[in-house]
């Protein structure tokens, strides 16, 4: 990659790799000993989302385990974010370090940590209105990635999923600070402990079910990936650990549909 002049003398680019997993449109580079002899991650894109993510990370610094931001800048039409590379492996590999129950409990506790953050001065990013506006834009411009739909929605059009979502529009909202995409590749784990969360560009004040719905879907996916079954007992362990006595299925469906339609 070509670094902007402001970074050329600061970043050592001799050991660079590209991560294999991720759906972001941004270019992502992992650089060993890239800055002050520390491993770093560089994200760059023409999208303002890179700067938005930098601002969210800076806001979160003393509130949640997230990467430290070293540089963020705009140069010749591109945004750049240079940040700490968190130690460990992606969250789904935590199953190799602990039992399934331990993993479910850790996951529920981590999501609860997000929802306990005081969000009063959080920037006005990623509200439900923002997300719905984005979905409607995707629909209008045929940008819904139906190929990534979960099996429950396979064969449905984006409009059909949208109509299903709006038929389950919540009657009330229990607002908290949500990560926005709590799938397991978005946190790192080492020695049975979470070292931090990444990909926070979707972070915002929303109903807690935005994260809970994605978490339950993620647990099912990761159990099946391991050729295991995500049982009712697993779900109850997650809900009990998090602190939910009774699950709201309408909210779960609404926020799963919203997530499916946001991928575009």
As a whole-number percent, the residues of the chain with pLDDT over 90 amount to: 92
Q: Is the domain of 52 the same as that of 158?
A: no
Phi-psi region of 254 (alpha: psi -120 to 50; beta: other; left: phi over 0): alpha
Q: Is the domain of 146 the same as that of 25?
A: no
Q: Is the domain of 176 the same as that of 243?
A: yes
228's tokens: 């295991």
What predicted TM-score, i.e. pTM, was given to this entire model?
0.93
* Strand ranges in 46-104 using DSSP code E only, listed in sequence order: 69-75, 78-84, 89-90
Q: What is the pLDDT of residues 183-227, one digit of tens each?
A: 999 999 999 999 999 999 999 999 999 999 999 999 999 999 999
Across the range 72-81, mean pLDDT stands at 96
Task: Name the average pLDDT for the chain.
Answer: 95
Spatial CA neighbour of 11 closest among 43, 53, 40: 40
**pLDDT for the residue 148:** 86
Chain position carrying tokens 């429950």: 152
Q: Is the domain of 242 the same as that of 122?
A: yes
Residue 20 has pLDDT above 90, yes or no: no
Spatial CA neighbour of 60 closest among 114, 127, 131: 114
Which domain range does residue 44 map to?
Answer: 5-84
Last residue of a domain, one of 84, 103, 132: 84
Q: Is the domain of 137 the same as that of 25?
A: no
**pLDDT for the residue 179:** 98
**What DSSP letter does each residue of 194-233 carry, written as one string?**
EEEE---TT-EEEETHHHHHHHHHHHHHHHHHTT----HH
Domain count, the chain: 2
């Amino acid at each position: 990659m070509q670094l902007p002049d402001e970074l050329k003398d600061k970043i050592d680019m001799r050991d660079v790799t590209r991560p294999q997993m991720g759906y972001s449109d941004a270019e992502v580079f992992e650089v060993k000993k890239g800055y002050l002899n520390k491993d770093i991650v560089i994200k760059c894109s023409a999208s303002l989302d890179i700067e938005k993510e930098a601002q969210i990370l800076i806001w979160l610094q003393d509130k949640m385990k997230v990467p430290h931001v070293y540089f963020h800048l705009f140069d010749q039409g591109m945004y750049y974010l240079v940040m700490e590379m968190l130690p460990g492996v992606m969250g789904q590999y935590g199953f190799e370090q602990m039992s399934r129950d331990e993993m479910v409990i850790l996951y529920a506790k981590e999501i609860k940590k997000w929802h306990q953050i005081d969000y009063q001065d959080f920037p006005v990013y990623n509200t439900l209105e923002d997300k719905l506006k984005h979905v409607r834009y995707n629909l209008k411009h045929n940008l819904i990635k139906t190929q990534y739909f979960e099996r429950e929605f396979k064969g449905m059009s984006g409009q059909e999923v949208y109509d299903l979502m709006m038929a389950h529009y919540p009657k009330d909202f229990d607002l908290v600070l949500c990560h926005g995409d709590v799938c397991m590749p978005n946190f790192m784990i080492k020695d049975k402990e979470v070292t931090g969360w990444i990909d926070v560009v979707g972070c915002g004040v929303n109903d807690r079910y935005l994260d809970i719905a994605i978490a339950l879907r993620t647990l099912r996916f990761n159990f099946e990936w391991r050729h295991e079954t995500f049982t009712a007992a697993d779900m109850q362990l997650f809900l009990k650990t998090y602190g939910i006595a009774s699950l709201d299925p309408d909210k779960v469906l609404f926020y799963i549909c919203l997530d499916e339609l946001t991928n575009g």
